[in-house]
Amino acid sequence: MFIVPLLLVLGYETKKATATSTFVIVFISLAGFLGHMIQGVQDTDNMEISLFNLLLLAGAATVIGAQVGSRLIFNRISGKKIEQIFALVLLLVGIKLIYGLF
C-alpha cells in the first residue's frame, strides 16, 4: 500500500509506479502463499482443491487480470485520474481502519 506513494515521491510517473507496485505485490503474495504451504494450512481436509492447484489457478488469474487491466484501463485513464482513484481507495481504507478502532 505504500509502494505507489513512495515511487510517486521518488519521481516515477503514476502508471509506472502502479505497474511496479503490482509486480512487487505478486512476489510478496507468492512468498506468503509458500509460507502457508511450508507451515501447513489448517482444515486442508475440507478443501476440494489442492494448494498447488490453487496457486496455479491464482497465478493464471493474475496474469490474465494484469493484461486485461493494463490494456483496458491504463490506456483509457489518465495518470491524474489514476492518482485520484488511488487517493480515494487510501482514504476509504483509512476510514475503515479508524472505524475499526471503535
**Cα distances (Å, whole numbers) of residue 43 to 22, 30, 52, 58:** 30, 21, 15, 20
C-alpha 11/C-alpha 96 separation (Å) is 29
Answering whether pTM is above 0.85, one says no
List pLDDT tens digits, range 40-73: 665 555 656 677 777 788 888 888 887 787 777 7
Listed in sequence order, the residues at least 6 apart from 88 whose beta carbon sits closer than 8 Å to its beta carbon are none
Q: Where exactly are the structural domains of the chain?
A: 3-100
pLDDT at 98: 93
C-alpha 59/C-alpha 42 separation (Å) is 22
